[in-house]
Chains A and B, each alone.
Chain A
Amino acid sequence: MADITDPPRESFRLSQLLYDARYRSLTIQVVAAILIMLVLVELVDNTVTNLAALGKDIGFGFLWTTAGYDINQQLIPFSSQDTHARAALVGILNTLLVAFLGCILATVIGVLAGVLRLSNNWLVARIMTVYVEAMRNTPLLIWILIVFAVMTEATPQPREFREGGSASMLLWESVAISNRGVYIPRPIWGEGSGLVVAIFLASIVGIFALRRYARLRQAKTGQQLPVLWMSVGLFFVPAILAYFVMGRPVTLEYPELGGFNFTGGIQVRNSFIALWLALSLYTSAFIAEIVRAGILAVSKGQTEAAFALGIQPNRTMQLIILPQALRVIVPPLISQYLNLTKNSSLAIAVGYMDVRSTLGGITINQTGRELEGMLLLGLFYLITSLVISAMMNFYNSSVKLKER
């Protein structure tokens, strides 16, 4: 028996870089790297040359100069004497706010519409079809403009709320819906309110603990607890008790009509509501389709099998259908959330002061720093998108089918 010997080692030849599959990929990558570098160098060089020709330089010093303009919706205090950087921060917070609330509302409406589209009720299913098609096939910008115009035209002016006017406040004079926005009471946190909040948060933790305990107990003994009622009780009772025990530390400041406008309370501005609604309605149509497809993707046999086991319909939905449908639903849902966040940049159409209107709009316009401003703006959106998709991917991998 002859030993198996290694083939004689070939010496490396230069032509292997081109014709040998083992080395060729290295060649291609080196060439690609060089080309990319060349392109980047060329771009930077062009930019510097062009800017120099216009007498401009590149610098971010403008961020620390006085902004000079006012922003109506500010989650952190801002005045026209603050810096452009702070204006950008106010805009960023506004963008995040509308994106976050938009994702929630879009999911709620979308799931509802998607389920109703599969309803046995012919009329309701048809209405939902019309809704979904109308939303999906018309540009978002038009919807934003239409919702904004409807909100402006259909709601009363603040002066209608005066004595003898045609409008009145809702919910025991605490909420006013006008065409400048919705005014709601503002909570005033008094002495000892911290404790109330702490107890409230603790009871929420308690609800989660209860659910976990109920599940374990059911797995062990087969007995079910009335989790829903216990959760509701846990949600309300301790916080309300604490509220009265501490001597009602939280009071409400009601909006009142004074001068030109309502004063006091919290004003939820029309531009915000219009953008929020339009974004949610538009995105919800896409989510509805995703939900419908997700539910249809679960084979009918699963439902029948569950029924055959004697599981109730709502528990079938909860335990059998939804977990399977979610696996199909979540990945496209992530991209819809991303779309909604990016689409919030259309705030410019209704004058909502998001980051594109402050940093990418007025600041650029007042300082003439379009290159730097656009760079920062792009970075912000990029980071937001990456964070959202990272979070969602994490969730996605946790519900993924564990293949063995």
Chain B
Amino acid sequence: MKKTVFLGTLAVAGLAASIASAQSTLEQVQGAGVLRCGSNEGLAGFAAPDANGVWSGFDVSLCRAIATAVLGDPQAVEFVPLTSQTRFTALAAGEVDVLVRNSTWTFSRDTDLGLDFQGVNYYDGQGFMVSTSLGVASATELDGATVCIQTGTTTELNLADFFRVNNMSYEPVPVATNAEGQQQYLAGACDVYTTDVSGLAASRATFENASEHVILPEIVSKEPLGPVVRHGDNLWGDIVYWTLHGLIAAEEYGITSANVRELASAPTDNPEINRMLGTEGELGAMIGLSNDWLVNVIAAVGNYGEIFEQNIGENTPVGLARGLNAQWTDGGLLYAPPFR
């Protein structure tokens, strides 16, 4: 009797296993009608669920933008939670179509792990947060300190390098999640909490006495965070790349979710805007999408600046300044290649 049950479920399992396919990622996503986006299990400002289970955040918006570009529906995203340990394997195994999970673009990940980073959606760097009562003004004064650090990321390598190069000793306190790191730090179990500055700011914003904690000026690493796809499917990579840079360019040219429909209704004076919004040329068709793909994207999620302000900008609890993430015209690093 039990044997039948077992076989039955085995058969169901066999059915659920999709058969080997030579389909491209774009065809797969369009066939399924939903984009599988590898996301964080929860990081304030970047990905978090509300009480109804609707996800929002900076990374989440990029997923929604890609879904809008490909499927025309910002809600057609399935967020697959991935830990820092399982993220790249899951992407390589095809469990997700794109990974937007605060992943740092490094040489070995781009080459050895068989992945392709498609630009940078947030320029971050590793920093240190300490309590003001310690009277520390610079990270070089941290000799002998106890440092809370999340395992399984590039941060622990940067930390080891930083202290070794400066001939300082330290005591690492590895923590599994950001929440645990905060708790340990607040209880004084470590003097310093180190992670990406965006994460530090997000944590600090939620402290009961935020003014008693300070983020030190030293940034000890470059952490360009960006969306990742599998190596080899260039069309899909192009879609992700140009969706991200479409959002960036939209901010540069002043296209917002409010005015995009109007701008797209008739050709404007600016040929670049016309090409982006499909009133001139056939750019959408070149990457296998409809000609007004970027119109839908911007209408659904807004341009880069809007997404930033909505999720992590200075008026949100996270309260990050644009800094490196300003447009190149404003002295930042955001620089979208021309739509031509």
Contact = CB atoms under 8 A, between A and B. Distances in A.
B268 to A, nearest CB: 46
Nearest to B180: A351
Interface residues of A, number: 38
A55 B230 CA distance: 12
Given A70-B160, A259-B143, A259-B144, A152 B151 contact: no
Given A72-B172, A259-B144, A261-B171, A149 B160 contact: no
Interface residues of B, number: 39
A69 interface: yes
B157 A368 contact: no
Q: Which of A69, A153, A263, A271 has the most CB of B within 10 A?
A: A69
A362 interface: yes
A293 interface: no
Contact of A72 (B142, B174, B188): B174
A260 B189 contact: no
A152 B189 CA distance: 6
Contacts of B189: 152, 157, 179-180, 270
B17 interface: no
Given A153-B187, A261-B144, A368 B112 contact: yes
A211 to B, nearest CB: 45
Interface stretch (B58-66, B81-89, B277-285, B324-332): B81-89
Contacts of B140: none
B188 A179 contact: yes
A364 interface: yes
B146 interface: yes
A370 interface: yes
A180 B114 contact: no
Contacts of A129: none
A351 B190 CA distance: 13
B73 interface: no
A169 to B, nearest CB: 17
B174 A351 contact: yes
Contacts of B92: 54
B309 to A, nearest CB: 34
Contacts of A362: 151-152, 156
Interface in A164-197: 179-180
Given A259-B143, A259-B144, A260-B146, A72 B191 contact: no
B107 to A, nearest CB: 13
B142 to A, nearest CB: 8
Given A69-B157, A351-B173, A260 B188 contact: no
A327 interface: no
Given A69-B156, A351-B151, A370-B89, A152 B183 contact: yes
A56 B89 CA distance: 12
Interface in A356-377: 357, 361-362, 364-366, 368, 370
Q: Which of B142, B145, B174, B176 has the most CB of A within 10 A?
A: B174
B19 to A, nearest CB: 15
A353 B174 contact: yes
A361 B89 CA distance: 14
A368 B151 contact: no
21 contacts: A54-B114, A69-B160, A70-B159, A72-B171, A80-B161, A157-B187, A157-B188, A159-B188, A179-B188, A179-B189, A259-B144, A260-B144, A263-B144, A270-B189, A348-B151, A348-B176, A362-B151, A364-B85, A366-B157, A368-B88, A370-B89
Interface of A: 54-56, 68-72, 80-81, 149, 152-153, 157-159, 179-180, 258-261, 263, 270-271, 348-351, 353, 357, 361-362, 364-366, 368, 370
